[in-house]
Amino acid sequence: MDGRLKRLHHKCKYMGVHENDVIFARFSERYLDDLSPKELDQFETLLEENDWDIFLWISAKRDVPEKFENSVMDKLRNCQEYDPA
C-alpha cells in the first residue's frame, strides 16, 4: 500500500467525531483501495472540511455543497447504514 492510501486509511479510523469514525472506517474497508485518482483527490478535499459538516452532509441533515456531490459522497452515504456484520 502506498503512503497516500496508508495515511487515508488511518485518517478514516480517527476522524475526530465518533459518528464519522464509524462511517469512514466502513468506507475505508469497502472502497478506499479501489478509488480512482480523481476520487482520491475528491476524498482528500472533503477531509479538509469540518467533521460535523461532513457528518451532516452524509446523513442528509444538511444540503451537500455542489463540489462534494460526487461518487465519493454517494459511497460515504452508503456506509452510514447499520451493518450487523
Q: Model confidence over 7-16: pLDDT tens digits?
A: 999 999 999 8
84 lies in some domain: no
- What CATH number has the domain bearing residue 70? 1.10.150.250
CA distance 61 to 58: 8
54 lies in some domain: yes
pLDDT in tens, 18-57: 999 999 999 999 999 999 999 999 999 999 999 999 999 9
85 lies in some domain: no
CA distance 5 to 10: 9
Which residues, including other chains, have CB under 8 Å from residue 5's CB and lie 6 or more apart?
A: 32, 33
Grid cell locating 46: 472533503
